[in-house]
Copies of this chain bind each other. A is one copy, B any other.
């Protein structure tokens, strides 16, 4: 999508990759076919790809589908129902690439917020803020659909079963080794589906639930010698259980809980009283994939993200 432009003498400037759209369209869809309502609560972003050089160089909007129109389209398509967010994004992507010949692709993303029924009530809900579900669809210039699902903000903690020792020591090392510490993190995970599986059809909701559950279970069960190890086990369990997933990336802050020195007050502190620090924090990030999977798939370049 790189386009050459005549620039002032002595410099030739080119417009490289670019996109535009409407971000954070807050959509609440109530399904009320029966008295027992369903709620879908989304935050949707639509960004279009194509040759928009004239808008940049001349302010010519002949190809600029307004971001306002993109917003309207989110609401219009939602009228037909919103199931898995990945499928809703595909509807959006298909619409824009089908409707406007110069739209060669794009990026559509959603956050989903969860709600629980209050006392199993038909139309009263309380928000479950434990985590946010995410999805990104990118349609490439060749029409290939890349789908990355994920979750963010899932905060977990182990009050024991975590050690940290055996690390290299240099003159800047003051950390003491420990065989018992609190391990806590906010899980952000993103997994990319195999294009073949996307083509064949995926039960995205079921996979989401399973991935979430596997990650929680692995975090709980791993006796951890490094947050890297807990992370690896979490990702491995996901890839082993879900052949439809090609690779998974995780970004885990190590939320430090420092044991408070109570000795000076004449008290012991057998791993009971901790100071939960804000900053700085450790930050552990990795990709796990299947052998043979393409490294650095282009979809990742356009995801607010980590290595």
* Chain A residue total in the interface (Cβ 8 A): 153
Contacting pair B68 A175 (CB below 8 A): yes
Q: For A2, A8, A64, which residue has the most chain B Cβ atoms within 10 angstroms?
A: A64
A207 at the interface (CB under 8 A from B): no
Given contacts A37-B159, A67-B283, A127-B157, list 4 more A-B pairs with CB under 8 A.
A11-B239, A23-B253, A30-B272, A73-B172
A28-58 interface bits toward B, Cβ cutoff 8 Å, 1 = contact, 0 = none:
1111100001010101010100001001111
When C-beta atoms are compared, the residue in chain B nearest to A42 turns out to be B276
Instruction: State whether A260 and B229 are in contact (beta carbons under 8 Å apart), knowing that A15-B288, A69-B173, A290-B12 are contacts in the complex.
Output: no
Instruction: State whether A19 and B273 are in contact (beta carbons under 8 Å apart), knowing that A67-B282, A173-B66 are contacts in the complex.
Output: no
Contacting pair B118 A290 (CB below 8 A): no
Interface of A is mostly: mixed
A273 to B274, CA, bound (A): 26
- Complex interface: stretch among A139-147, A194-202, A293-301: A293-301
Contacting pair B216 A118 (CB below 8 A): yes
A219-241 interface bits toward B, Cβ cutoff 8 Å, 1 = contact, 0 = none:
11100111011011001100110
A179 at the interface (CB under 8 A from B): no
A154-191 interface bits toward B, Cβ cutoff 8 Å, 1 = contact, 0 = none:
11111111011111101111110000001000000000
